[in-house]
Amino acid sequence: MRLLIENCKVFGEKTRSVLVDGRVIVGTSDDPTQTVPADTIRVDGNGGTLLSGLVDSHCHPFEYGWLKRNIDLRGTTSVTGLRLRLSAKMQRAQPGHWVTGMGWDHEAFPGRKMPVKTDIDDISPRNPVALTRVDGHVVLLNTKAIESLGLESRVGDEYERGPDGKLTGIVKERALVDVFSAMPHSVEESASGLLNVEVEAVRFGLTRLHCIISSEGYKEELGALASLRSSGSLSMCYNVFLPPEALGYVSDEGLGQKFGDDPVRVNGVKLYADGSLRSRTAALREPYSDDPGNTGLLRYSDEQLSELVEKADEAGFQAAVHAIGDRAVEQAIGAISRVSGSKNPRRHRIEHASLLPPDLLSKMAKFGIRASVQPCFITSDTWAVDRLGEERAAHLYPLRSMLEAGIVASGSSDSPVETLNPIIGAWAASVRAGLAPKEKLSLEQALGLYTKNAVSNGLDDYLGVREGAPANLTLFDSNVEGMHPALFRKVGVMAVVVNGELVGSLADARV
């Protein structure tokens, strides 16, 4: 297919039109009167900004698809609100079937208390219920679920117990695998969930997702990607990040070769060094300011994490280490630098790298360690100063300092934790409501998080919007150059091109 996007303005360039043939850009021009071959589809850019296709460098589209199918608890502001949405679902649930939901946030509840099983037991006597917190690191179970999973006898900090010694229904972190693996998964449901998410992602201008595959449902999720790929149903491209337990399965099934080219490529291995700040499970060097006895949880010893990074490296994969607290970030830097020295040829990266004091920031830069950052956290983490105190919170999400130190930081949503919309992400990075204002990015830097940095934090080198570059493009509905960042969040998407195909377009396309 030959495609001409004209009457637009390529971000930061003079180019006013781009000609695509097959999967590559074959020509660019600043001459509005140029002639193009017949049978070319012409897209009128209407003066909008065209840029390299937006990429989300860390999201969980299968979990988001699952959330869209189940109870969406985002936006509830009390246990009563949570109960209302659960009761509505319970009326239609078949006895014995799992009822699941996601998105509650006790930080928005009066008294900021975590809900417990007794808050929901009376309305769910016949069904096991699992309701995941917005960050995906904590789940609330009812008594029926605790019984059916046989969890009462488990030991460990991940299983919260009340004064009576019984489980409260709150289960955290690594123990979540016990819960999720017991839930029903299917290839068909995973596939339809993903396609549902794609529609939204394309509407937001995304062309590629770095897709985190879950530990609990990896067979079904990889199966869904394989079947959607072979039926040609995918509109976007996926760089897949596997849980370590899927490595053997992927090599046994030959998925490494099968997923060797767009639209689905195996990119890396996702490892978790710690939990989350919201749940006070991120590993800190000093205790939480609002919980003085607690420094969070490291999931692995230094040796264990190094071994896992080494294993990923040896298998030819990029390691993507989730590290939020400064103690976890330090551990991740140690593990990656031990394996890859100062050049980091495999582009190993730290997911989040949230609390980054100057000593760790310069170490990350020194060892060429990349980062995947989530600008929306800046506007959402209204409790950050409570958790960390003023002094430490100044080193939370230091985006500008990271870029200035030379760290390749790519933008992402961590969806469904935050909206998948990269326009809102770039807006959050450039307006930075709350937290240290000196860390604000220019709009150009903020868009760079989702274009050049995200591309190079995957498997490719960034080639921009020029001849010979892959034809992945996003067309905004207005000219954003020179726009005040505060206005940027209102910008819409007119067209999206993935591998030379026009996959989403509100523009006037004509042959």
Residues within the interface to Zn ion (CB under 5 A): 414
Amino acid at 129: V
Q: Which is nearer to Zn ion, 173 or 414 (CB)?
A: 414
Count helices and strands in the chain by DSSP H and E runs: 18, 25
Q: DSSP assignment, residue 195?
A: H
**Residue nearer to Zn ion on the CB measure, 56 or 414:** 414
CA separation for the pair 116, 164 (Å, rounded): 13
* Region class of 166: left (phi > 0), else alpha (psi between -120 and 50), else beta: beta
| Cβ contact 195:238 at 8 Å | no
To the nearest whole angstrom, how small is the minimum distance from the Cβ of residue 350 to Zn ion?
12
Alpha-carbon distance of 433 to 384, in angstroms, equals: 13
Nearer to Zn ion, 158 or 414 (CB): 414
**Distance (Å, rounded) from C-alpha 70 to C-alpha 500?**
35
Report the DSSP pairing between strands 49-52 and 473-476: antiparallel
Q: How far is the CB of 270 from Zn ion (least distance, A)?
A: 8
Q: How far is the CB of 33 from Zn ion (least distance, A)?
A: 48
Q: For residues 11 and 218, which CB has a smaller minimum distance to Zn ion in the complex?
A: 218
Q: Measured between alpha carbons, how far is 143 from 146 in angstroms, rounded to an integer?
A: 5
Q: How far is the CB of 428 from Zn ion (least distance, A)?
A: 17
Identity of the residue, 53 or 243, whose beta carbon is nearer to Zn ion in the bound complex: 243
Neighbours of 391 (CB within 10 A): 10
The minimum distance between CB 45 and Zn ion, in angstroms, equals 34
Cβ at position 415, least distance to Zn ion in Å? 9
Backbone phi, psi, residue 286, to 5° = -115, 155
Do 8 and 50 form a contact (C-beta atoms < 8 A)? yes
Q: To 5 degrees, how large is the angle CA 76–CA 283–CA 170?
A: 40
The nearest distance, CB 212 to Zn ion, in angstroms, is: 6
Closer residue to Zn ion (CB): 273 or 493: 273
Nearer to Zn ion, 10 or 328 (CB): 328
Indicate the residue whose CB is closest to Zn ion.
Answer: 414
